[in-house]
Amino acid sequence: MVSLFLSVSVFWLVAVVMMGVCLMLSMMGQWSREKVSPYECGFDPILSARSSFSLRFFLLGVLFLVFDVEVVMVVPLLFVLYGGAEVVGVVCLVGFLHVLTIGCLYERRDGSMDWVSEL
């Protein structure tokens, strides 16, 4: 029981020390001109931060999100199917990729992936 209490106490002590060090390091560079500006890229902002953004950029971001989720869903399924090819798993994978391909072709035909043309 004493060993458990000692190990938990050491863990808490290390956590508190690390939090203190991180707090001190973050306070050291807090008041630089770049850190208090709205953008940390090194450039002075030209327009207001409230200006509208391109709808094309938003659509491309949504497409990236869809394909990112697709990778998260397909990669573990591939590892499961590597052990033994289950018919249900293969049908689900092919169906999922089929729906994703049809959606990608629709977006391509619609022009959502073209940066050059205007909406």
Give kind and range of the element (H or E) at residue 32.
none
The mean per-residue pLDDT over the stretch 74-87 comes to: 72
CA distance 20 to 59: 42
Q: Is the pLDDT of residue 14 over 90?
A: yes
The whole-number pLDDT of residue 91 equals 81
At which residue do the structure tokens 């509208």 appear? 52
CA distance readout (Å), 14 to 17, 21, 119: 5, 11, 55
Q: Which two tokens stand for residue 47?
A: 């327009």
The model carries a pTM of: 0.43
62 SS3 class:
helix
User: Would you kindly state where each structural domain of the chain is located, as residue ranges?
Assistant: 55-110
Q: Residues with Cβ < 8 Å from 93, sequence gap 6 or more?
A: 74, 77, 78, 81
In one-letter notation, the amino acid at residue 20 is G
Band of residue 110 on the pLDDT scale cut at 50, 70, 90: confident
